[in-house]
Amino acid sequence: MTPAQYKAVAHKFIENPEQLAAYESRGNCGVLAGPGSGKTKVLTAKVARMLCEDVTAPRGVACITYSNECRTELLKRLSELGVGSSPFLFVGTVHGYCLRHILRPFAKPAGFNLPETLRVAGDAERTECGQQALERILSADEKWGGPDGWGRLIERFRKSRGRGIEGLDDCVPEISCAYQAMLRQRGLIDYDDITNLAAELVTSHQWVRDCIAAKHPILAIDEYQDLGAALHDIVVTLCDHRVRVFGVGDPDQCIYQELQDARPELLAEFADRSDVERVDLRLNYRSGTQLVIAAAAILGDNRQHRAHRSDTGRVKVHSISASSNKWLPRQQAHAKFVVRKLLPSILNDGQDIQPGDIGILVQDRFMAQALAIECATHDIKYIRLDRGLPYERTSLVSWIADATTWCVPLDRGEPPRMSYLQRDWIAIDRTGDRSRDIDTAWTSVVSFLWKMRGQDILLKDWLEDFDKQVVSTCGLADDALERELASLADLIESTKEDGLHHGTPVSEFAIKRGPSSHLTIVTLHSAKGLEFPVVVMPMLDNGVIPRYTLVPNSLKWREQRRLFYVGVTRAMDDLHAVYSKEHGMSSFLSTFVDAS
């Protein structure tokens, strides 16, 4: 490990007192990081520093983030700082952390009566258990929400951990109790169990806290605003137990309250504790001044965000004719305008803008689909990054993405090292049967990867060979890996006719941003963490965002405002907002335009 690597990065923090304050913090630190404020750079440098300077092996640092993709990204950045492969650094999702470092080692000695091998329920199993729970508790005429509606309510209730939820039906606690019992009967747990049980272990057992504090006396947390109540309870309890916490996030970019009961207020709650140093990163390195000021205005409060850049950036509002009250035709009209009119004018602007510099940010996958069709008919290359992936982004899928970039390196960034591929492969393999011969399996993986190296074939063929030569021969087929295997099957399915990855070459599978020849279509939810020189946001109509049904300033209304905020803050230079003149401008957009 060469400490010089993170010190070189940290040297630049001298120019930014806010970043420096976070990097120099000695105790608990809560970092509220505005868009483009370099939060990942600060987080990774700080993690590397704490690992090298503040703990001694065998004690270490745990770094928790939102998703497998974020984990991959963090690991890559930490590897560049020379600490990625330290055995005393854990980087993973909340669920990975809770499962590996809390439930597996402590549930049994604490007397939790859980199945011997913890198996996480698949979607089908969860749905079945949910239905059975509904049938047990509700009479036929009460099931008005349908299993989907109820399922979401149950999920939010379980995630809330006793914090209030607006408009929650009285029988939800009872149903979720029954649902949980159904899962247990089948020897299953679900993701909310993982975090809730972990929180219970941590809050109710002194020795569990002692063990965790001994192993990871430092806890670094990324995307704090999206991680939910269970993790917050764990963090606060451990913080009281002298674990040092470095929490980073942006409450203004919390966009999973509706979906997952993420709570934007939790990060500030943590950062404002008397034993936590609060640092606000307000300097935006991404966007032009006008964009920074206007974006902040959307939020109502004065965030005091400042732009690092001296140029203004541009906001262009396009009003088009799209009279239909139905959404689909309206979306089609917007797609037509964007592809036929707007794109050519952007590309011929004389600013030397490539398609790869453009991100089209959509509110749902129907808009994405309309754009995709329009692009295809005009022979415009694009990649889609909407959340509506036809497969789950499991750790196996993430691994495959890494493996493909090892085989065919992307035109930006370093390809992953073989040793990281090995580490992650073994981590996946180990979740299954331990008696399996991991070395033999890894050997077959290596020979497969070398065979595929440098061959930019169709993803379909790559995956089929992988399935045949690696998965089915090394005995990966295993109950504990059901989700991973299902995601692989779905991924392979998506490479067939009409699938998302039909005709996708290996070289394009892993790219987050298209090559310069491809524009990017992405939903607002998936756009978090991305940036584009030019952002196009269609369908910013009155009644669409915020939805006409929402009461101003209600929770859902505020979440939509944060979603809009995430969108506009992706733009570096130019933002193109499109609305239908027949319906009028979104109230968020008009606030934004007024301020810019």
Partner 1 sequence: MKLSRLIIKNFRNFESVDVPMGQHTVIVGENATGKSNLLAAIRLLLDPSLPERSRMLRAEDFWEGLNDPITNAHTIEVSVELQDFSDNKRALAVLADCIVNAEPLTARISYLFGPLLDPDDPPKSLDDYEYVIYGGDNRDLPLGYNLRRFVVMELLPALRDAEGDLSGWRRSPLRPLIQAAQDAIASRDPDLIPNVAKSMETAFGDVTSIDEIAQLIGTIQSRLVALVGDDHAVDATLDIASTDPARLLRSLQLVFDGEAKRTISEASLGASNTLYVALRLLGLEAAEDERTHTFLAIEEPEAHVHPQLQRVMYRSLLRDSAGNADIQSLLLTTHSPHIASVAPIRSILLLRHTGTASVVRSGAQAGLDECDVHDIERYLDVTRAELLFAKRVLFVEGDAERFLLPAFARELGIDFDRIGVSVCSIGGTHFEPFVKLVAPSALDIPFAVLTDRDPRPGKAPLAVPRVKRLLRILDDPHGALQHGADTDTFAAAVRQTGIFVGIHTLEFDIMGKQSGRQEMATTLRSFARGEHCNKLATQLADLEIAPDEEFANKILKIIEKIGKGRFAQRLAGQITTETCPEYIADAIRFIAKIDES
* Residues engaged in binding partner 1 (CB under 8 A): 56-60, 87-88, 104-106, 108-111, 117, 205, 207, 210-215, 217, 430-431, 433-435, 437
DSSP symbol at 87: T
Nearest distance, CB of residue 434 and partner 1, angstroms: 5
Residues 6+ apart with CB under 8 A from 162: none
Q: Are 273 and 240 in contact (CB under 8 A)?
A: no
Nearer to partner 1, 213 or 595 (CB): 213
The four Cα atoms 374, 380, 384, 390 give a dihedral, to 10 degrees, of: 70
**Nearest distance from residue 92's CB to partner 1, in Å?**
15
Nearer to partner 1, 36 or 217 (CB): 217
**Shortest distance (Å) from residue 86 CB to partner 1:** 9
Of the pair 111, 552, the CB lying nearest partner 1 is at 111
- Measured between alpha carbons, how far apart are the two ends of the chain, in Å? 47
* Tokens, residue 512: 């987050």
Q: Of 227, 244, 223, 146, nearest to 192 (Cα)?
A: 227
Nearest to partner 1 of 8, 214 (CB atom):
214
SS (H, E, C) 372-423: HHHHHHCCCCEEECCCCCCCCCCHHHHHHHHHHHHHCCCCCCCCCCHHHHHH
Q: How far is the CB of 211 from partner 1 (least distance, A)?
A: 4
The residue (of 378 and 430) whose beta carbon lies closer to partner 1 is: 430
Q: Smallest distance from the beta carbon of 183 to partner 1, in angstroms?
A: 20
Minimum CB separation from partner 1 for residue 215, in Å? 5
Nearest-5° angle of CA 552, CA 557, CA 562?
125
CA distance 329 to 323: 9
DSSP state of 166: T
Could you tell me the smallest distance in angstroms from the CB atom of residue 132 to partner 1? 30
DSSP of 200-244: HHHHH-HHHHHHHHHH-SEEEESSGGGSHHHHHHHHHHHHHTT-E
Cα dihedral 503, 508, 509, 514, rounded to 10, equals -120
Of 88 and 285, the one with the shorter C-beta distance to partner 1 is 88
Sequence letter at residue 538: P
Q: Considering beta carbons, is residue 23 or 90 the nearer one to partner 1?
A: 90
Closest distance to partner 1 from the beta carbon of 334 (Å): 51
Tokens encoding 456:
């930019």
Q: Where are the alpha helices (DSSP H) in 221-364?
A: 228-240, 257-260, 265-271, 289-298, 327-336, 343-347
**Partners of 64 in the β-ladder:** 92, 221
Phi, psi angles (nearest 5°) of residue 379:
60, 40
Which C-beta is closer to partner 1: that of 97 or that of 565?
A: 97
CB of 18 or CB of 193, closer to partner 1: 193
Judged by beta carbon, residue 239 or residue 566, the one nearer partner 1 is 239
